Structure 1
Amino acid sequence: MMRTRPLKVALLGCGVVGSEVARIMTTHADDLAARIGAPVELAGVAVRRPDRVRDGIDPSLVTTDATALVKRGDIDVVVEVIGGIEPARSLITTAFEHGASVVSANKALLAQDGAALHAAAEQHDKDLYYEAAVAGAIPLIRPLRESLAGDKVNRVLGIVNGTTNFILDKMDSTGAGYQEALDEATALGYAEADPTADVEGFDAAAKAAILAGIAFHSRVRLDDVYREGMTEVTAADFASAKNMGCTIKLLAICERARDGGSVTARVHPAMIPLSHPLASVRGAYNAVFVESDASGQLMFYGPGAGGAPTASAVLGDLVAVCRNRLSGATGPGESAYAALPVSGMGDVVTRYHISLDVADKPGVLAQVATVFAEHGVSIDTVRQQGNNGEAALVVVTHRASDASLSGTVEALRKLDTVRGVASIMRVEGE
C-alpha cells in the first residue's frame, strides 16, 4: 500500500545535473511514487545564485544556506550534485548526522575520501549511493557491488570520459590534430573552457579509483592511480596505430595482479586493436569492459555525461535509497575486506609502442636492440624509415614491466645515435 506521508528530498546544487533531477522528480512524480511505495517531495534546493530563474522549481524552495537545509531533521534523502571537496564533504557528513541518507555524483570527493564517508554513513545507519559518479547513465557501480558480488573481478578496462573520447575519435576519423579536435569539442559543449581535468586524466583517475575499490574490495584512493594525459597524442601516433590495426583511446585500467596479491589502477592513452569492443566506442560515449572468473567478459556502454543521463543515474539511486528508508534497511556499504595493496606503475606488465628518431646509418638498429635486450624487454616488431641522414624507428615490444621499459627508454636517450624518443604508448586489450 502507498504511504501517504512523502519522503522529503533536499537537492544540493541546481546546475546542469541538479535541474534535470528536479525536472524528472516533478514530471515523473506518479511513477516514482508507485515504484518507491510513497511520494517523494522536493523539500529544498541549495544554490549559490538564488536570483537565477529555474523553470519548474518553486522559488520558495531555493536557499543559499545548504547547511541549514541538511540540518532540518525532516529530510529523508540529500542529493549532492555540487561537486568538489568542500563544502560537499561537510554537507554530506552533516546530512548523516541529522538523519538523512545521501545520493551523490561527486567522483572527486568519493575518490579522495570514500572510506571516511562510508564510515560516517555506517555510523549513523544511513545509505551512501553514487551510481552517477562514474560513467553517467551507464549502470556500473550497482552491477559491480551487487550483481557481481558473488564473482571475482580481475580487470576493469574502460573509456570513462566522454570529452577525451570525442577528441581522440575526431583525430582518428578526420586526421585532425589535438588542438583542432579540442576546439571542436569546446564549440559543441563537450569540453569545458578549462579542459584540464578531462584531457590530463584527472576525471578518469577519480573514476578509476572508485571502480578499483569496488571491483577488488579494497581501498583505492585517487593518489594511488597512475595518470597520464592525452595532450601529447599526435596524428603520427594514430598513423602508427592504424599500421598495427589499432586505434588510440584514453583508458582507465584497474587490474588484479596475476598472483592475486595486489591491484593496480592507471589512466593513460593506449593503442587497442580494432577488434576490441572498446575500439568502436565513438564520439562522447563511454564504455567499460569487465573481466571476471565466472561471468567472463561483460561490457557496459552508453552516454557517460550530460544533464539527463547523469540525472537518470541519480534518480535510480534515489528510488533505491527511498525504498530502503521505507523498509528500515540500508543497502550495501563499503566492501574493503580484501585490503589488497595497490602496486606502483612499475609493476604493470603490458606491451609498448616506441617511436625513436635516430641517425640513418649502419649499426643503429643493432645498438637499439642491444639496449632492449640488456633491460629484459623482448622486441616483437621493428619498422624503420630513412630520410636524408635521419630515420624513424618504430619498435613494438612483447609484454614487459613498466619499470623495465622505463629503464630501456632512459638508456636509449643516452645513445649518440638516438636523436630523441618521439612517443611511447602502451598497447592494451590483446
Structure 2
Amino acid sequence: MAAAAAVIATFCVGIGTALWARLALLVALAGLLPPVFTGHSSAAGNHGAAVTSLALHLVGVAVWVGGLAFVVVVAARREDQAADAARRFSPLAAWALLAVAASGIVNAAVRLPSVGDVFTSPYGRMVLGKAMAFAVLGGIGWWHRRRTLPALKEGSRRGFVRLAAGELLLMAATVGLAVGLSRTPAPDAGDASLSPTEELLGFSMPPPLGDFPWTPLFTQWHFDPLFAFGTAAAALLYLTGVWKLRARGDKWPAGRTISWLLGLEVTVVATMSGLAVYGKVLFSVHMGQHMILAMTVPILLVLGAPATLALRALPAVPKGGPDGPREMLMKLLHSRYVKVISHPAVASVLFIGSAYVVYYTSLFETLMRNHLGHMFMLVHFLAVGLLFFWVVIGIDPGPRRPPYLGRLFVLILTMPFHSWFSISLMSSTALIGEGWWSLLDRPWVE
C-alpha cells in the first residue's frame, strides 16, 4: 500500500493523458487490495466469500467517494466541464452503490450467525447503523439525478455543491462506522474453532461422492461473490441492451440472448455448485471444472455477441465531444493490444500453452494454496477460452477476422496439442500439486 501511494504521489502529479490516468487508477486500486487478502477475513471461515466481497466493497467505496470528491472540486471551481463530469460519473456512482450494497450484505451474512444478531450484538448494531447511512446516501444520489444534475447542466452549481458536500460528510461518517466495524469482533468470533481443512478451503470437507458420484456435485453448493455478482451484472447489462433495441423498434436474435444467458448459467454451475466444492479436493473434478470454463462457457458466451449488442445499444456521443462507452469499446476492439492477442497464433498459444504451464510446473500448487490465486486461475481459463473461440467462431467485430477456412485451419492445428495434453495428463504417474493435496484431510480417500 505504501509503495502504491508513493508511486501515485511521486509520478502521477503531472499526468495529462487518459492512458496514464488509467494506469494510475489501476495502481491506486491495487494499493487497496493487499489488506483484503492478508487480513482477518482471509483467515476466517468461508474466507472465499469474505475476501471477495470485501475487495469489491473497498473498490466500490473508493470509486464512489473519490469520484464524488473530484466532481465537487470541479463544480466548486466553476469549470465548464462540471456538468459533463457529473453526468458521466452518475452511472458509475450507481454501479458503485450497487456493488457496495451487494458486497456489504454478503460480508455481513458471512460474519453474523443469524438475523437476530443484527439487533442484539454490538457488531450487528453497527452494521445496522451503516446500512441506514447507506440508505440515506442512496436517497441523496436519487435527488442528485432528479434535481441537482439538471440544474448543474443549466449552469446553477450552488445546489449541487452544497448537497454533494453534505454527502461527502455523511460518507466520511459512514467510513468511520466501517472502521469501527472492522475493530469490533463478530458474534462468536472468538469461539469459532476451525479445522486445518476449513482454514484451507473456507468450508468443511464435503462428503464422499459415494455410489452415485454425480449427485453430490449438484447438492453441495458454495456461494462465490465474484462469479455471482459478475454473472448477475452481465445478465442485467445484456438484457438492458436487448430491451433498448426492442424499445426503438430494432430486432435482436432470440438465439443470441438464450446462448448468453445459458453461458452465464453454466458459469454459475461450474463455479458455485459441487463442481467448485469438489474441484478443490479432487483433481478429476477440478479438471472437469477447468474444461467447462475453458471450452463450454466461452462457446455459449461468444455466440451471444455481447460487443455487437453494446455497439448497437449504446448511444454515440456528438461529434467533437469526449469519448463515451461506445467510443471506448470501439477503440478497445481495434487497439494494438487486441490486435496482437487476437492473432490466431497468439490466441492458440495462450489457450493451449497456459494449460501446460499451470499443470506441468509448480504453479498449480501455488495457485491452489491462495484464494486470490485460485480465483485468478479460474478467470484465466475463462478468459483464454473466450479469446480463442472469439477468433474461431466469434460474431463480434475485431481487428483480425480470419476467413472461415482460416478459422477451420486454426481449430485443426490446435486439436492435436489439446489431445496431447489430455493424454499426457491421464497417463502421468506423478501427482500434480502434491503439496496441496497432502495438506487436505480427506478421510474418504484411501
Tell me: higher relative CO, structure 1 or 2? Use CA pairs within 8 A at least 6 residues apart.
Answer: 1
TM-score bracket, normalised by the shorter chain, equals under 0.3
The two structures have a TM-score, normalised by structure 2, of: 0.23
Which structure shows the higher helix fraction?
A: 2
The two structures have a TM-score, normalised by structure 1, of: 0.24
